[in-house]
Every structure is written in C-alpha cells, then in structure tokens.
Amino acid sequence: MPIILPEDPTPIAKVPSTENKTGGWRTFRPVIHYEKCIRCYICWKFCPDAAIYFAPPEAHESPKEALAKFDTVEINYDFCKGCGICANECPVKAIELVLEESVGGDE
Amino acid sequence: MKMILTGNESAAWGARLSRPKVIAAYPITPQTSIIETIAAFIANGEMDARYIRVESEHSAMAACIAAQNTGVRTFTATSAHGLALMHELLIWASGARLPIVMSVVNRAMAPPWSVWTDQLDTMAERDSGWIQLYTQNNQEVLDSIIMSYKIAEKHNVLLPTMVIEDAFILSHTAEGVDVPDQKKVDDFLGEYDPAFKLDPDDPAGFGSLIMPEGPYMEFRYKMALAFEDARNEIKKVVEEYNETFERNYSPFIEEYRTEDADAIMVVLGTIGSTAKDVVDRMHEKGKKVGVARVRYFRPFPAEELRMLARKTDMLGVVDRSYSFGPGADLYAETRSVLYKHTDIPVKGYVMGLGGRDITPQILEKVFDDMLSVAKEGVVDKEVEWVGLHGDERWS
Ligand code: SF4
Ligand code: SF4
C-alpha cells in the first residue's frame, strides 16, 4: 500500500468557518435589552467573531420613534463565544451578560 | 560592480537584488545595520518594498508570514535574543511552508551579556524547520541570499532559510564584494511564483486544526521529504549560480587540502578562513592537515561527511557553541551520521564562545592535538573546551 499524503504542502481549509459552530464555548450569554438599544452598531463593530448581525427595523422595539426606521441588531448564539466585548462597549449598557446555565443554554 | 561592503551591507544588497516586497524588522545588535541599510534603500527609492516597523521580533516574523501568505517575497534579519523571541513563529513559518529568507547574525545568548559571535542562537533553532546556511565572507553572504530565495521557492522545497554570518568578524568588517547586475539577478531569480496564496476570489484558511487521526503526521513527513528535495535543489542552484555569476561555491562542504590529510578539521563560518591559513603553515612544516567548512547545517550534509571521513584518519569538529548533552551540535551530528560508516576517531573542540578570538595560534595547537589523536587512533577526551583561562595547553 502506498503512503497517502495530503496534496497541499500545508493545511489549506476550503470549508468556511460557519460550518464549525463554536457557541458551546460560552459561559456568559449577551442578551440585548431592546428597550435601551439606540441602534448605534458599536457592538457589531467590536464583536471579534461577527456574531452580531443586522435585522430589519421592525424586528425589535425601539426606545425612540426616530430610531425605529433604522436596522436593529441580533446575536447569533451559534457563534457567540460570550467574550462580553459587546456588553463592555455598548454606550447605553443595553447588553447584559447572563450566566448560560441560568437561561438553560441549548448548545 | 565591485564595492567595499560590510557583511551587513552585503546582506542588505543581497535582499535588495532579490526584490522582496515586504521587510518587517526590529533592530538588534549586531544585525541592525542590515535593516538600516534596507530602510535607506527604500527611503531613497532604490528599492520598491513596504517596510514595516514592528514592536518585536515575534511580530516581525508574524508580519513576514502574513505578507508572504499574500504571495510576495519577504525578508527580515535578526540576532540572538531576537531570534529566540521569534522561536514560535519560526516553526509556524516552516510548517506554513513559506519560503521566507532571513539574515541571522550569530551572537552569544545572555547572560553573561554579550553581543559578540557565538553560534548558540542558531543552533538552538536547528529543529525549527528552516534551512540553515553558514557563510564565511561578505561575498558569500550576498550571493547566498539570492540563491536562497531560488532554492526556498521551489515548489518541492518551500522551506524558509536563514543565511547566517558571524557577528563583527563579518557583520561590521568591510571587504571587496562583487555586486551582481540587477538584470542578471532578475533573470536568475524570476518572478516569485507562490505555490498558494490568500485570494479573496478563492477564500481559504491556512494552518487549520488537525485532529490526531487527521494528516498532521503526513504534513510533517512532507516537510521531511522537502528537506531531502532541498539537497538536490541546492546542488542545482549553486551550480547554476556559479556558472551565471562566475563563482565557485561547493554546495554543502567547502574542502581545503583534504586529499591525503592525516586529520581534517570540520568547521562552520569564518573559522574556516582562519583554519585554511593555518593549514598552509602546517603543510610547510610537513604536517598534513585539511579543513572542511560545512555550509549547510540544515539539511545536514550526512553523505558528504561520510565521504570526507573516508579521506582521512581523524576528524576534529569545532563548535562555537555548547550543547549540555552530547557536547556540541556540529560534533554530535557529525558523529551520529558517521556511526557504523567509519572507525576513525572523531573529537569535538568547543571554542570561541562569546566572541572570544579564535586565533591561528590556537588552531595550530588544535591541529597538533588532532594529529596526535590520529596517530594514537583513539580519542582521549570526546569534547574538549579550548582556551579556558589558565589552561596552558592552548595558550
Ligand atoms: S459576547 Fe463577544 S462574541 Fe458574543 S456577541 Fe458579544 S462581542 Fe460577539
Ligand atoms: S452597542 Fe448597544 S446600543 Fe449600540 S447597537 Fe449594540 S446593543 Fe444597541
């Protein structure tokens, strides 16, 4: 039997990282309190894992009429690792970190 | 064009002529004048490259890895503690199969604090997966950088390369150097043709996780095969370079008066040129000795050393570093590859640590010691420290 060697000289992954769900690493779950969220997208900018994404304006309530026409944000818990950066950066403290067990984590 | 260049200027010229697109570097004595010279080339518009000033050597190598991954040539330079700080990324660069070329100016590791020549820094990286080439003069520094890009970039090699020079003896000492014509170097090297690269149109991740049942071992085995292929490519490229630029480098070992020698000294780096001088003097006194200067320590010239051993009655191996186990690296590896291939005695000599001068007088005494070992046929002491304060044998 001949030795089977990989074709590439070094591992070159063509499978996108979205195939590898890593949300199970989370200890704390960031939960957005939409009644405070001013749709500034700072959390979206800072999230190191692109786990925050845009949702249509009407998907959630808004604290002010003037903000209601802008897109809102949501968190993809399949990839959020609970680092808490978003909660730390949110200027109006709209993101709360909740211990995963206390919300019955599903990962 | 003939120029008067230091070893470090020669390294900078070697890089300039090879047209790397990214230089990421952090200063450290005695390497600093390499990256200063390159910075001046770029500032003067003589070199078209991006110069990245980083906060450490660890970052310098990280930047070279990332840049090379985008499909361009890169270059950096370091010494001693800087090389040690790069350690993690050195192994990454070779495992990622990126043909980065780096100048390393050998310098002693502290403490005691020292900036002078000593080979422990590069010997400590012998298993990092880099090709290692030890040079003897400034011309060889310049030429080797050009040749190294060509060898490293072959798709059956893809291994990063350290071109190593002795601190101060080469790095800060000027001599006449023939600087090849840019056009000729361009023709010799050709455009960089990466085996793979980051491409937004064909996204990929490099260096991903491999589970124990995955091909981790197979990737390492491919590197081992690449080192074997590198031997052939080194021979071919050195031959082609010799022809194109009228030089006469021997690929792995430069031999001097080794035919019919009663004892041959095996050395690395500039010790070779002093030793050759001493060999001539010894011959005048009727003592038949020779020198073999090992150029490539990785890949290790096993077959060449076996052929060398057949020519003589004794090998004396000089190391400018010490390994707290087998004694010293060049010595230990030489003995290891000779095992069962020869019965001749092999003795190790450790000298010149921390930049202590290796003088012709000392080498003459070492040659005399080697001749007496050759005559007795047995080694009195496997590894001997030469020239310790108060030891009158060598003074
Ligand atoms: S906790 Fe971290 S990973 Fe999760 S959404 Fe916030 S910033 Fe992103
Ligand atoms: S940083 Fe806070 S306020 Fe801004 S969008 Fe994110 S959750 Fe809303």
SS3 content of chain B, % helix, strand, coil (to 5): 40, 20, 40
Domain ranges of chain B: 2-245, 253-394
| Closest-CA distance of chain B to residue A8, Å | 9
The model's confidence at residue A15, banded by pLDDT at 50, 70 and 90, is: confident
**pTM for the whole structure:** 0.89
A84 inside domain: yes
| Closest-CA distance of chain B to residue A5, Å | 6
Q: Are B108 and B353 in contact (CB under 8 A)?
A: yes
DSSP string, B299-333: S--HHHHHHHHTT-S-EEEEESS-BTTTB-HHHHH
Please choose from A31, A42, A77, A85 the residue to mutate so as to test ligand 1's pocket, defined by most ligand atoms within 8 A of CB.
A85
pLDDT at A93 over 50: yes
Which of B299, B301, B221 minimizes the C-alpha distance to B253? B301
**How many Å from the N-terminal Cα to the C-terminal Cα in chain A?**
42
Round to whole Å and give the CA distance between B32 and B39.
11
Q: Indicate if B253-394 has the same CATH topology as B2-245.
A: yes
A16 inside domain: no
Would you state the pLDDT for residue A107?
Answer: 45
Would you state the pLDDT for residue A104?
Answer: 66
Round to whole Å and give the CA distance between B204 and B315.
51
Round to whole Å and give the CA distance between B307 and B368.
23
A38-88 tens-digit pLDDT: 999 999 999 998 899 999 999 999 999 999 999 999 999 999 999 999 999
How far, CA to CA in Å, does A77 sit from each of A30, B142, B219?
Answer: 9, 55, 34
Q: Which of A3, A4, A10, A22 to mutate to test the interface with B (most CBs of B within 10 A)?
A: A10
Which ligand does the CA of A52 lie closest to? 1
Q: Are B266 and B318 in contact (CB under 8 A)?
A: yes
Q: Compare all CA atoms of chain A with the CA of B204 and give the residue at the minimum distance.
A: A14
Q: Are B108 and B117 in contact (CB under 8 A)?
A: yes
Q: Whose CA is nearest to atom 2 of ligand 2?
A: A90
Round to whole Å and give the CA distance between B169 and B131.
22
Would you state the pLDDT for residue A19?
Answer: 82
Would you state the pLDDT for residue B189?
Answer: 98
Q: Are A71 and A39 in contact (CB under 8 A)?
A: yes
B124-158 tens-digit pLDDT: 999 999 999 999 999 999 999 999 999 999 999 99
Residues of B in contact with A12 (CB under 8 A): 196, 204-206
Say yes or no for a CB contact (<8 Å) between A5 and B215. Answer: yes
Residue contacts between A and B (CB atoms, under 8 Å): 43
Q: What angle do CA B57, B129, B60 make, to 5 degrees?
A: 15
> What residues make up the domain containing A51?
32-103
Would you state the pLDDT for residue A16?
Answer: 77
Say what percent of chain B tops pLDDT 90: 97
DSSP string, B165-194: EETTTTTT--EEEE---HHHHHHHH-S---
The model's confidence at residue B172, banded by pLDDT at 50, 70 and 90, is: very high
Q: Domains in chain A: how many in total?
A: 1
Nearest atom of ligand 1 to the alpha carbon of A46: 7
Which of A77, A97, A90, A16 minimizes the C-alpha distance to A46? A90
Say yes or no for a CB contact (<8 Å) between A3 and B222. Answer: no
B186-238 tens-digit pLDDT: 999 999 999 999 999 998 989 888 999 999 999 999 999 999 999 999 999 99
Q: Are B142 and B13 in contact (CB under 8 A)?
A: yes
A91: domain CATH number?
3.30.70.3270
A89 inside domain: yes
Q: To 10 degrees, the CA torsion angle through B323, B328, B329, B334?
A: -150
- Cα A81 to ligand 1 centre (Å): 6
Instruction: Give residues (CB < 6 A) around ligand 2.
Output: A 32, 37-43, 73, 90, 92, 94-95
B91-133 tens-digit pLDDT: 999 999 999 999 999 999 999 999 999 999 999 999 999 999 9
B326-360 tens-digit pLDDT: 899 999 999 999 999 999 999 999 999 999 999 99
What is the third-level CATH fold of B253-394?
Rossmann fold (3.40.50)
**Contact residues for B357 (Cβ-Cβ < 8 A; gap 6+):** none
Would you state the pLDDT for residue B257?
Answer: 98
Q: Whose CA is nearest to atom 2 of ligand 1?
A: A83
The model's confidence at residue A20, banded by pLDDT at 50, 70 and 90, is: confident
Say yes or no for a CB contact (<8 Å) between B219 and A11. Answer: yes
Which ligand does the CA of A41 lie closest to? 2
- Cα A69 to ligand 2 centre (Å): 15
A68 inside domain: yes
A10 inside domain: no
Chain B residue set in contact with A, beta carbons under 8 Å: 95-97, 158, 195-196, 203-208, 210, 215, 218-219, 221-222, 226
A81 Cβ below 6 A of ligand 1? yes
- Cβ atoms < 10 Å from Cβ of B389: 6
| Closest-CA distance of chain B to residue A13, Å | 5
Q: Is B257 left (phi over 0), alpha (psi -120 to 50) or beta?
A: left
Which of B126, B131, B181 minimizes the C-alpha distance to B154? B131
The model's confidence at residue A105, banded by pLDDT at 50, 70 and 90, is: low
Q: Whose CA is nearest to atom 6 of ligand 2?
A: A43
Q: Which two tokens stand for residue B97?
A: 């199969």
Q: Was domain B2-245 assigned CATH 3.40.50.300? A: no
Please choose from A43, A74, A86 the residue to mutate so as to test ligand 1's pocket, defined by most ligand atoms within 8 A of CB.
A86
A79 inside domain: yes
Which of B68, B96, B93 minimizes the C-alpha distance to B83? B93
A49 Cβ below 6 A of ligand 1? yes
A32 Cβ below 6 A of ligand 1? no
- pLDDT averaged over every residue in chain B: 97
A37 inside domain: yes
Q: Are B6 and B174 in contact (CB under 8 A)?
A: yes
Chain A residue set in contact with B, beta carbons under 8 Å: 3-6, 8-14, 16-17
Please choose from A27, A46, A52, A77 the residue to mutate so as to test ligand 1's pocket, defined by most ligand atoms within 8 A of CB.
A52
Say yes or no for a CB contact (<8 Å) between B219 and A4. Answer: no
Q: Are B122 and B83 in contact (CB under 8 A)?
A: yes
Q: Are A5 and B220 in contact (CB under 8 A)?
A: no
A86 inside domain: yes
Which of B301, B308, B316, B296 minimizes the C-alpha distance to B362? B316
Q: Which two tokens stand for residue B7?
A: 């070893």
* H or E element, residue B76: strand B74-78
- Cα B88 to ligand 1 centre (Å): 29
Would you state the pLDDT for residue A102?
Answer: 87
A86 Cβ below 6 A of ligand 1? yes
Q: Are B268 and B293 in contact (CB under 8 A)?
A: yes
